């Protein structure tokens, strides 16, 4: 699938990049959003692009884009990265929290339930010592598996799926995406398997969020982003999960009440029907934006 940046027109509208302004793309992916910003902030404006995946980072280096500074790191270390790169005043920061199409199609790490791959689900896969989906599935207590499926995946059959996982792993470890899918299908009712959305969707989402600690990282990083923005700088966040959106909404409201932010989106902005039709993965996207006041 061709990489399509989600809500691209809306991102440009809220960031409103101008000549020589500097921006940060905290989740640069395949640089879809950054490429369009670079067209607007020329001739001297820069973008600091952060990519946690070492393989995707190497692909970005080959793009050889002028005025794009790349960091192979987690946005959790945003403040340290900015200090190291000395980019100057920051006029806007973007978080696009969606999974890159490259991770689904090319990474080979089990992000997609349409491919038979090892259950890794890490963005920064460069060490066997790091937590993987395979470890969660085969070693975590049933109650913990049930909790992450319920909280991160909003899976209505979290209890049944967790129970079936634990029963299955007693006989044989669950190592691949297709093996996990078979377990899920056995755990849920027949009507649930016939839904438009694949019965493994929510389980895969929950595991990915847990493996990469996505919600906690976002919660910790938003205050740092606000801190390093210049006054009148814009903060734009695209979320794809209700948990992410709740964190963003709460953060914006709290800082609005403190007089630190002006909220630019009264309600989250969603993709148009046309965009969803051309890019089905955009269907759950929600964009919120704010302007730093002080």
Give pLDDT tens digits for 68-125.
999 999 999 999 999 999 999 999 999 999 988 889 999 999 999 999 999 999 998 7
φ/ψ (deg, to 5) at 173: -60, 145
Torsion of CA 92, 97, 101, 106, to 10 degrees: 110
pLDDT band for position 127 (cuts 50, 70, 90): low
| Whole-number average pLDDT of the chain | 94
Check: pTM over 0.85? Answer yes or no: yes
Distance CA 113, CA 134 (A): 14
Look up residue 120 and give its two tokens: 């890794």
Which pair of tokens denotes residue 147? 């909790």
Give me the pLDDT at residue 58, please.
Answer: 93
Q: How far apart are CA 38 and CA 265, in angstroms?
A: 24
pLDDT of residue 126: 66
Q: How do 286-292 and 261-263 pair as beta strands?
A: antiparallel
pLDDT band with cut points at 50, 70 and 90 for residue 2: very low
pLDDT of residue 129: 64
Q: What domains are defined for the chain?
A: 8-102+214-292 (3.40.50.150), 107-212 (1.10.150.170)
């Amino acid at each position: 699938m061709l990489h399509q940046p989600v809500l691209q027109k809306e991102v440009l509208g809220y960031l409103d990049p101008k000549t020589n302004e500097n921006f940060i793309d905290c989740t640069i992916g395949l640089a879809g959003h950054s490429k369009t910003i670079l067209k607007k902030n020329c001739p001297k404006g820069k973008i600091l692009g952060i990519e946690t995946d070492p393989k995707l980072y190497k692909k970005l280096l080959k793009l050889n884009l002028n005025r794009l500074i790349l960091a192979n790191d987690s946005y959790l270390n945003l403040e340290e990265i900015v200090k190291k790169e000395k980019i100057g005043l920051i006029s806007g920061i973007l978080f696009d929290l969606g999974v890159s199409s490259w991770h689904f199609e090319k990474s080979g790490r089990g992000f997609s339930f349409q491919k038979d791959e090892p259950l890794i689900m890490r963005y920064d896969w460069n060490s066997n010592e790091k937590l993987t989906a395979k470890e969660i599935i085969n070693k975590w207590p049933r109650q913990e598996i049930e909790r992450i499926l319920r909280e991160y995946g909003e899976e209505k059959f979290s209890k049944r799926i967790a129970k079936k996982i634990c029963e299955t792993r007693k006989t044989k470890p669950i190592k691949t995406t297709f093996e996990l899918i078979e377990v899920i299908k056995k755990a849920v009712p027949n009507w649930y398997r016939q839904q438009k959305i694949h019965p493994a969707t929510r389980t895969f989402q929950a595991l990915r969020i847990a493996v990469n600690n996505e919600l906690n990282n976002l919660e910790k990083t938003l205050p740092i982003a606000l801190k390093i923005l210049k006054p009148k700088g814009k903060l734009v966040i695209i979320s794809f999960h209700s948990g992410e959106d709740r964190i963003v909404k709460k953060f914006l409201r709290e800082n609005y009440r403190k007089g630190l932010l002006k909220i630019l989106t009264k309600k989250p902005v969603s993709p148009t029907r046309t965009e969803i039709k051309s890019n089905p993965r955009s269907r759950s996207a929600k964009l919120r934006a704010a302007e730093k006041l002080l």
